[in-house]
Amino acid sequence: MTLQHIHSLCAGLGHPVLTDGADSAGRFPDGSRYRIEIPSCEGPDVMAAVLDEADRRGVPVHRVSQGSGVMMLTDAEIERMVALGAEHDVEVNLFLGPRSSWDIGGQTKVSAAVGAAARGNAAVAASLCDAERAVRLGVRSLLIGDLGVLALLGRMKRDGRMPEDLVLKTSVLMPLSNGPTAALYEEVGATSLNISTDLTVAQIAEIRAATTVPIDMYVEVPDDQGGAVRFYDVPEVVRVAAPVYLKLGLRNAPNIYPVGAHIGAMAQNLGRERVRRAELVLRLLSELAPELAAAPATVAG
């Protein structure tokens, strides 16, 4: 067996092994290569703080995502987040359902790899109920941590039981580290792919070659997902992964899920700092690769 033979196995199935990343021709509908996502936006008060900080710093925020889950928000809180999103043209993305790490099982106490899985069919059903409730309250973007839940929601979209424009975004807790997995996620319904945090530029390019939907990637990674700070990698990430959401986690920050009023001030401060981190990333991108940072010359209709 030779290295050439090993590589030809994947190439023959449509997924070549890359040693470098080609420029991605993919773009968002407005022609841009990248957008900014602020994760862990845990409710309307945190979202308001994030938007206030973004306005103060001149940082464009295109998507906010929430990790505590739909079930940890009241109807009024969801409706306020939807209203803030509409007012500021920001996508509001909410996590679905109970997860293994909050359940009574023991595996998640020793392995974070199964932390977002829906444990048993009852948890799958609860996730689908979360999705129905969120959609009823105006949400059009859901964050999913379980492959089976993703597949069922994809089927519900195709059957007309969920809105056609509903974004189904995979969580970083659903491992995605290669092209074939990306293609599978898209095939069953994913419309935004959160890739693993520790991939090389060439590996990211392999994923882009296998899928057309937007990628989102932590360029500063929470400690429990690896803790890398990849600001200087951003130009290459934008070059090979477009269209890509650049997502700012935080090093040296506590895992705050689920959030409530008891740690509301902390959650707001973390949100503001994520915006500051986004400002740092955008500065570097503009200095190192102004041709990538530039706004699109034309806007698609």
CATH for 15-292, options being 3.40.50.720, 3.40.50.300, 3.30.428.10, 3.20.20.70: 3.20.20.70
Separation between Cα atoms, residue 251 and residue 228, nearest integer Å? 8
Q: With a cut of 50, which residues of the chain have pLDDT below it?
A: 298-301
Domain map (residue ranges) of the chain:
15-292
Question: pLDDT at position 299, please?
Answer: 39
Q: Specify the pLDDT at position 1.
A: 63
DSSP code, position 155: H
User: What is the chain's mean pLDDT, rounded?
Assistant: 90
**DSSP per residue, 41-58:** --SHHHHHHHHHHHHHHT
Contact 173, 194 (CB under 8 A): no
- Answer for the pair 278, 38: CB distance below 8 angstroms, yes or no: yes
* pLDDT for res 110: 56
Q: Both tokens of residue 225?
A: 């997902």
What does the alpha-carbon distance between residue 73 and residue 258 come to, in Å, rounded to a whole number?
Answer: 10
End-to-end CA distance of the chain: 52
